[in-house]
Amino acid sequence: MNEYDEEVLNVFLKNQSQLFDETVAETPQEAEEFLSDCMAVVVDTKEEVWDYLEKLGMDIYENEDLSEIAEVFPLSDGRYLIVEG
């Protein structure tokens, strides 16, 4: 299982509704299992977000606001969690 730190798990639990219509995890353990199953990734910079999304074949533009991309969850330390929905 991937290791997701407390920040990642808490941000996902709090904001999962930006990507999913229903709650997919209610506890940090469930969140970690879900993120691992989805092969969610944590990247360090905006540039890494754009590179990752481009590799997925998403039709995005680098001038697009990351906050408008449902799969991207900004973390308080400047990193980003990317979850494929």
Query: CA angle, 34 as apex, 54 and 55 as ends, to 5°?
Result: 10
What pLDDT is recorded for position 1? Answer: 41
What span, in angstroms and rounded, lies between the C-alpha atoms of 61 and 15?
23
Beta bridge partners of 59: none
Which amino acid does the sequence have at 38? C
Q: Which amino acid is it at 16? A: Q
Contacts of residue 6, defined as CB under 8 A and 6 or more positions apart, other chains included, come to 28
Question: Which residues are paired to 81 by β-bridges?
Answer: 42, 73
pLDDT of residue 85: 73
pLDDT of the chain, 85 residues: tens digit per residue: 458 999 999 999 999 999 999 999 999 999 999 999 999 999 999 999 999 998 988 877 666 788 889 999 999 999 999 998 7
The Cα–Cα gap between 83 and 42 comes to 9
Per-residue model confidence (pLDDT) at position 7 = 97
Look up the pTM and report it: 0.90
Q: What is the pLDDT of residue 46?
A: 92
